[in-house]
Structures are given as structure tokens and as C-alpha cells.
Amino acid sequence: MSLIHALVAQGTTVLAEHQAGKRDFSQATQTILSKIPPNNSKLSYAWEQYLFHYVSEGGYTFLVMADESAGRRVPFAFLAELQRKAFAPSSSSSDDIPAYGMQGSFGPTISALMHTYNTAPPADELTRAQNELNQVKDIMVQNVEQILSRGERIELLVDKTDVMAGQATAFRRGARSVRREMWWKNKKVLGISILLGIVLLYILVAQVCGPGLNHCRS
């Protein structure tokens, strides 16, 4: 677990606390509380392999002991949430509270909050901003992929259009060639028909006027 021991104190008087592990850190926490100045401050103390992070404001001190691996963002986010819950209207906070006077009312809140931050810590502002940037980056990547995909489809469409244009040009050339061939065939048929007509006309006239057409002249 990252967060091990947390408490709320007034001066050096512990008002409520919760310890997640089995080891007793009361002496260490009292030593840290005695070193905290009376003015508002926020600081971290190193002790053995642990770090004591605290926020002191208005005579109250919110302290949490955590592993070094927890860093600073998560412990201080925990302390900020602990501070908000401690001074909520439903919390029993006053200027004269005896030692462990808030243990019954606020001890379970510290326990629940430590469990939340040790199992699934909520995203702080920096982490939330990073997540939003990652989401925007993912959306941009998806859009670029879609644009690239459209580009591939456009190129494929252009290729198909070029092929169709080439086929249309070849069809027009073929059509002109066929039309030219048909025109010459029609001309040949017409010429042969005229020639046959002349021959038939000559045969008919020759039967009446003779082969040399002499009878018709006389």
C-alpha cells in the first residue's frame, strides 16, 4: 500500500487517525508534529524509507505517511481531500477538542479515504489534464488515420477513373474505325448495285435493239 498512516492534529494533539499497517508509528508522528511550525505550511519529511507529508493551516495539521514510491502528488491530493472533509459542515470541528476527540466521527472517514487512495486513487488535476491530452491525441490520431484512409480511397477512385477514361477513349476510336469500315462497305455495295443496274439495263435494251443497238437507231 502507498498510504500507511494518516491523522488530523491540533498542534501536537492528535484528534483522529488511522493506521493501515500493523507497525506502530505513533512516536514517529509525534516527532514530526513537534517539528511543524505554527504558521500555515506544507512540507514533506523523510524518515527511514518513508515520507511524512503534511499540510498545516489554521492551527490544524493534516499528515500522512507514505512510501517513497507514492511520490508527492497522490499524498498531497489525499491531504487536500482530507482537509475538505474535516471542515465540512457535518464534521465536528471546534477550537477546543481533546485528544482523539474526533476519532469516533472522523476516524472512519480517514480509513475510507485511505482505502480509496490505496486502491483506486482519483485523478488529480494534473493527471486529469494529462488524460484529457491523451484523449485529444487519440482523437487526432484517429482523424489522421481516417484522412489517410480517405486518401487511399480517393487514389483508388482516381485510378479507376483513369482506367475508365482510357476504356472510353479506346471505345471511341473503335467506334470511328467501325463506322469508317461500314461507310466503305456501303459505298462498295452502292457501286456494285449501280454497275449491276447498268448491265441489266443494257441486256434489256439489247434484246429489243440488238447487241449493237442498231435497230433502235434506224
Q: Give the torsion through C-alpha atoms of 106, 108, 48, 34, to 10 deg.
A: 20
Model confidence, pTM: 0.55
Strands 60-67 and 3-10 turn out to be antiparallel
Task: Please report, for the chain, the start and end positions of each structural domain, with discontinuous segments joined by +.
Answer: 3-156, 159-211
CA angle 123, 10, 54 (to 5 degrees): 35
Instruction: Return the CATH superfamily for domain 3-156.
Output: Longin domain (3.30.450.50)
What is the pLDDT tens value at each position of the chain, 218 positions in all? 589 999 999 999 999 999 887 778 888 889 889 989 889 999 999 888 889 999 999 889 999 999 888 888 889 999 999 999 987 654 544 567 898 999 999 999 999 999 999 888 776 655 665 665 666 666 555 555 565 566 656 566 666 666 676 777 777 777 788 788 888 888 888 888 888 888 888 777 777 776 666 666 55
